[in-house]
Amino acid sequence: MSIKIYDLAGADPARRFSPYCWRTHMALKHKHLEFEAIPWRFTDKEVIAFSGQGLVPVIVDGETTVADSWAIAEYLEEAYPGKPSLFDGAAGKREARFLKHWAETILHPAVSRMIIKDIYDRIDPKDQAYFRESREKRFGKPLEEVVRDREAVRADFQKSLAPARNVLKEQPFLCGEAPSYGDYVVFGMFAWARNTSPFELVPADDAVALWRDRMLGLFDGYAATFPAA
Protein backbone atom coordinates (compact mmCIF):
# COMPACT_ATOMS: atom_id res chain seq x y z
CA MET A 1 0.00 0.00 0.00
CA SER A 2 1.47 3.29 -1.04
CA ILE A 3 2.03 6.23 1.33
CA LYS A 4 -0.61 8.95 1.26
CA ILE A 5 0.37 12.60 1.46
CA TYR A 6 -2.18 15.34 2.00
CA ASP A 7 -0.89 18.00 -0.33
CA LEU A 8 -1.88 21.65 -0.67
CA ALA A 9 -3.55 22.25 -4.06
CA GLY A 10 -4.90 25.25 -5.92
CA ALA A 11 -8.11 25.78 -7.87
CA ASP A 12 -6.45 23.54 -10.45
CA PRO A 13 -5.95 20.31 -8.49
CA ALA A 14 -2.72 19.73 -10.43
CA ARG A 15 -1.25 22.90 -8.90
CA ARG A 16 0.68 21.69 -5.83
CA PHE A 17 2.49 24.53 -4.18
CA SER A 18 3.23 24.24 -0.46
CA PRO A 19 6.98 24.66 0.08
CA TYR A 20 6.68 22.21 2.98
CA CYS A 21 4.78 19.61 0.95
CA TRP A 22 7.46 19.93 -1.74
CA ARG A 23 10.06 18.84 0.80
CA THR A 24 8.01 15.72 1.37
CA HIS A 25 7.44 15.02 -2.33
CA MET A 26 11.17 15.16 -2.96
CA ALA A 27 12.01 13.13 0.16
CA LEU A 28 9.61 10.38 -0.95
CA LYS A 29 11.11 10.36 -4.46
CA HIS A 30 14.63 10.33 -2.98
CA LYS A 31 13.70 7.24 -1.00
CA HIS A 32 12.09 5.57 -4.03
CA LEU A 33 8.82 5.20 -2.17
CA GLU A 34 5.46 4.89 -3.87
CA PHE A 35 3.00 7.57 -2.84
CA GLU A 36 -0.31 9.15 -3.66
CA ALA A 37 -0.56 12.93 -3.22
CA ILE A 38 -4.13 13.84 -2.31
CA PRO A 39 -5.17 17.39 -3.16
CA TRP A 40 -6.07 19.33 -0.03
CA ARG A 41 -7.20 22.93 0.46
CA PHE A 42 -6.45 25.36 3.29
CA THR A 43 -10.00 25.12 4.61
CA ASP A 44 -10.21 21.31 4.55
CA LYS A 45 -9.29 21.26 8.23
CA GLU A 46 -11.63 18.41 9.06
CA VAL A 47 -10.04 16.16 6.42
CA ILE A 48 -6.76 16.07 8.35
CA ALA A 49 -8.22 16.46 11.84
CA PHE A 50 -7.18 12.82 12.47
CA SER A 51 -3.56 14.06 12.50
CA GLY A 52 -4.23 16.22 15.55
CA GLN A 53 -3.47 19.49 13.80
CA GLY A 54 -4.49 21.51 10.76
CA LEU A 55 -1.48 21.90 8.49
CA VAL A 56 -0.03 19.90 5.61
CA PRO A 57 2.01 17.94 4.79
CA VAL A 58 0.52 15.00 6.63
CA ILE A 59 1.49 11.49 5.59
CA VAL A 60 -0.26 8.23 6.30
CA ASP A 61 1.94 5.18 5.98
CA GLY A 62 -0.09 2.10 6.90
CA GLU A 63 -0.99 2.57 10.55
CA THR A 64 1.31 5.56 11.01
CA THR A 65 0.33 9.23 10.65
CA VAL A 66 3.02 11.91 10.69
CA ALA A 67 2.55 15.69 10.37
CA ASP A 68 5.23 18.38 9.86
CA SER A 69 7.75 18.10 7.02
CA TRP A 70 10.81 17.77 9.26
CA ALA A 71 9.17 15.05 11.37
CA ILE A 72 8.17 13.29 8.16
CA ALA A 73 11.77 13.34 6.90
CA GLU A 74 12.97 11.92 10.22
CA TYR A 75 10.25 9.28 10.12
CA LEU A 76 11.09 8.21 6.55
CA GLU A 77 14.78 8.05 7.41
CA GLU A 78 14.11 5.76 10.37
CA ALA A 79 11.34 3.67 8.82
CA TYR A 80 13.23 3.01 5.56
CA PRO A 81 16.88 2.65 6.49
CA GLY A 82 17.52 0.42 3.47
CA LYS A 83 16.54 3.20 1.04
CA PRO A 84 18.88 6.08 0.06
CA SER A 85 19.57 8.28 3.08
CA LEU A 86 17.99 11.73 3.22
CA PHE A 87 20.65 13.10 5.54
CA ASP A 88 23.85 11.07 5.14
CA GLY A 89 24.29 10.83 8.88
CA ALA A 90 24.27 13.24 11.80
CA ALA A 91 26.47 15.91 10.21
CA GLY A 92 24.35 15.97 7.06
CA LYS A 93 21.25 16.33 9.19
CA ARG A 94 22.82 19.33 10.92
CA GLU A 95 23.52 20.92 7.54
CA ALA A 96 19.90 20.31 6.53
CA ARG A 97 18.78 21.91 9.79
CA PHE A 98 20.76 25.08 9.13
CA LEU A 99 19.42 25.22 5.57
CA LYS A 100 15.90 24.72 6.95
CA HIS A 101 16.25 27.70 9.25
CA TRP A 102 17.91 29.73 6.51
CA ALA A 103 15.07 28.94 4.12
CA GLU A 104 12.37 29.66 6.69
CA THR A 105 13.79 32.87 8.18
CA ILE A 106 15.45 34.48 5.14
CA LEU A 107 13.96 33.04 1.95
CA HIS A 108 10.36 32.42 2.98
CA PRO A 109 9.50 35.96 4.12
CA ALA A 110 11.03 37.47 0.97
CA VAL A 111 9.43 35.03 -1.48
CA SER A 112 6.14 35.47 0.29
CA ARG A 113 6.29 39.23 -0.22
CA MET A 114 6.83 38.69 -3.95
CA ILE A 115 4.22 36.04 -4.75
CA ILE A 116 1.47 36.27 -2.15
CA LYS A 117 -1.03 37.92 -4.50
CA ASP A 118 -0.24 35.43 -7.27
CA ILE A 119 -0.92 32.61 -4.82
CA TYR A 120 -4.24 34.19 -3.92
CA ASP A 121 -5.21 34.30 -7.59
CA ARG A 122 -4.58 30.58 -8.02
CA ILE A 123 -5.97 28.99 -4.90
CA ASP A 124 -9.36 27.37 -4.70
CA PRO A 125 -12.15 29.98 -4.50
CA LYS A 126 -13.35 28.36 -1.28
CA ASP A 127 -9.95 29.18 0.31
CA GLN A 128 -9.67 32.79 -0.85
CA ALA A 129 -11.50 34.56 1.99
CA TYR A 130 -9.54 32.62 4.62
CA PHE A 131 -6.25 33.19 2.82
CA ARG A 132 -6.74 36.91 2.29
CA GLU A 133 -7.86 37.53 5.87
CA SER A 134 -5.10 35.49 7.55
CA ARG A 135 -2.29 36.83 5.32
CA GLU A 136 -3.42 40.44 5.43
CA LYS A 137 -3.48 40.17 9.21
CA ARG A 138 0.08 38.82 9.14
CA PHE A 139 1.39 41.53 6.79
CA GLY A 140 -0.75 44.31 8.19
CA LYS A 141 -1.89 45.40 4.73
CA PRO A 142 -3.81 44.29 1.63
CA LEU A 143 -2.13 41.61 -0.51
CA GLU A 144 -2.06 44.06 -3.42
CA GLU A 145 0.07 46.43 -1.34
CA VAL A 146 2.36 43.69 -0.04
CA VAL A 147 3.59 42.89 -3.54
CA ARG A 148 3.72 46.48 -4.80
CA ASP A 149 7.47 46.87 -4.15
CA ARG A 150 8.41 43.34 -5.15
CA GLU A 151 11.16 44.44 -7.52
CA ALA A 152 12.98 45.94 -4.51
CA VAL A 153 12.30 42.82 -2.45
CA ARG A 154 13.72 40.74 -5.29
CA ALA A 155 16.95 42.74 -5.34
CA ASP A 156 17.46 42.05 -1.62
CA PHE A 157 16.38 38.43 -2.04
CA GLN A 158 18.98 37.88 -4.73
CA LYS A 159 21.64 39.31 -2.42
CA SER A 160 20.51 37.04 0.39
CA LEU A 161 21.13 34.03 -1.88
CA ALA A 162 24.87 34.77 -1.94
CA PRO A 163 25.91 31.89 0.34
CA ALA A 164 23.97 29.36 -1.76
CA ARG A 165 25.25 30.92 -4.98
CA ASN A 166 28.86 30.63 -3.83
CA VAL A 167 28.43 27.04 -2.66
CA LEU A 168 26.84 26.19 -6.00
CA LYS A 169 29.84 27.56 -7.86
CA GLU A 170 31.90 24.90 -6.08
CA GLN A 171 29.55 21.91 -6.27
CA PRO A 172 26.35 20.99 -8.14
CA PHE A 173 24.07 20.71 -5.10
CA LEU A 174 23.85 22.56 -1.79
CA CYS A 175 24.65 19.31 -0.05
CA GLY A 176 27.53 18.29 -2.32
CA GLU A 177 27.88 16.12 -5.40
CA ALA A 178 24.38 14.71 -4.98
CA PRO A 179 21.16 16.22 -3.62
CA SER A 180 20.17 15.61 -0.03
CA TYR A 181 17.40 16.79 2.27
CA GLY A 182 18.92 20.28 2.65
CA ASP A 183 18.55 20.72 -1.11
CA TYR A 184 14.89 19.70 -0.93
CA VAL A 185 14.21 22.15 1.87
CA VAL A 186 15.54 25.07 -0.15
CA PHE A 187 14.06 23.78 -3.40
CA GLY A 188 10.62 23.82 -1.75
CA MET A 189 10.80 27.63 -1.74
CA PHE A 190 11.48 27.73 -5.47
CA ALA A 191 8.87 25.10 -6.34
CA TRP A 192 6.32 27.09 -4.33
CA ALA A 193 7.10 30.20 -6.40
CA ARG A 194 7.32 28.37 -9.72
CA ASN A 195 3.91 26.77 -9.28
CA THR A 196 2.05 29.90 -8.19
CA SER A 197 3.71 32.93 -9.76
CA PRO A 198 5.12 34.03 -13.11
CA PHE A 199 7.43 36.48 -11.28
CA GLU A 200 11.02 35.37 -11.90
CA LEU A 201 12.94 35.20 -8.62
CA VAL A 202 16.43 34.91 -10.14
CA PRO A 203 17.90 35.42 -13.62
CA ALA A 204 18.11 32.23 -15.67
CA ASP A 205 21.92 32.28 -15.65
CA ASP A 206 22.24 32.66 -11.86
CA ALA A 207 23.99 29.66 -10.26
CA VAL A 208 20.90 29.31 -8.05
CA ALA A 209 18.59 29.15 -11.09
CA LEU A 210 20.82 26.54 -12.70
CA TRP A 211 20.64 24.51 -9.48
CA ARG A 212 16.83 24.91 -9.41
CA ASP A 213 16.75 23.55 -12.95
CA ARG A 214 18.85 20.57 -11.87
CA MET A 215 16.40 20.00 -9.02
CA LEU A 216 13.47 20.14 -11.45
CA GLY A 217 15.23 17.49 -13.51
CA LEU A 218 15.72 15.00 -10.66
CA PHE A 219 13.78 11.73 -10.61
CA ASP A 220 13.02 11.86 -14.35
CA GLY A 221 11.94 15.48 -14.12
CA TYR A 222 9.37 14.83 -11.42
CA ALA A 223 8.89 18.39 -10.16
CA ALA A 224 8.91 19.75 -13.71
CA THR A 225 5.81 17.70 -14.54
CA PHE A 226 3.75 19.98 -12.30
CA PRO A 227 2.30 23.05 -14.03
CA ALA A 228 4.27 26.27 -13.68
CA ALA A 229 2.28 29.46 -13.20
Binding site for a copy of itself (CB under 8 A): 87-92, 94-95, 97-99, 101-102, 104-106, 160, 162-167, 170-171, 174-176
SS3 155: helix
For the chain, the distance separating the N- and C-terminal CA atoms, rounded to the nearest angstrom, is: 32
Residue 128 CA: distances (Å) to CA of 21, 43, 117: 20, 9, 11
User: Least distance (Å) from a copy of itself to the CB of residue 85?
Assistant: 10
User: Least distance (Å) from a copy of itself to the CB of residue 144?
Assistant: 25
User: Least distance (Å) from a copy of itself to the CB of residue 97?
Assistant: 6
**Is residue 116 within 8 Å of residue 147, measured between CB atoms?**
yes
Give the residue with the Cβ less far from a copy of itself, 12 or 104: 104
- φ/ψ region of 88 (left if φ > 0, alpha if ψ in -120 to 50, else beta) reads left
HSE of 186, CA atoms in CB hemisphere, 13 A: 27
Give the residue with the Cβ less far from a copy of itself, 43 or 158: 158
User: Least distance (Å) from a copy of itself to the CB of residue 32?
Assistant: 21
User: Least distance (Å) from a copy of itself to the CB of residue 225?
Assistant: 29
Give the residue with the Cβ less far from a copy of itself, 39 or 176: 176
Q: Is 39 exposed, middle or buried (0-12, 13-18, 19+ CB in 10 A)?
A: middle
Give the residue with the Cβ less far from a copy of itself, 113 or 117: 113
**Is residue 115 within 8 Å of residue 193, measured between CB atoms?**
yes
Give the residue with the Cβ less far from a copy of itself, 102 or 190: 102
User: Least distance (Å) from a copy of itself to the CB of residue 89?
Assistant: 6
Sheet holding 64-67, edge to edge: 35-40, 3-8, 58-61, 64-67
Give the span between the Cα atoms of 13 and 85, in whole angstroms: 30
Helix (H) or strand (E) holding 8: strand 3-8
Give the residue with the Cβ less far from a copy of itself, 71 or 129: 71
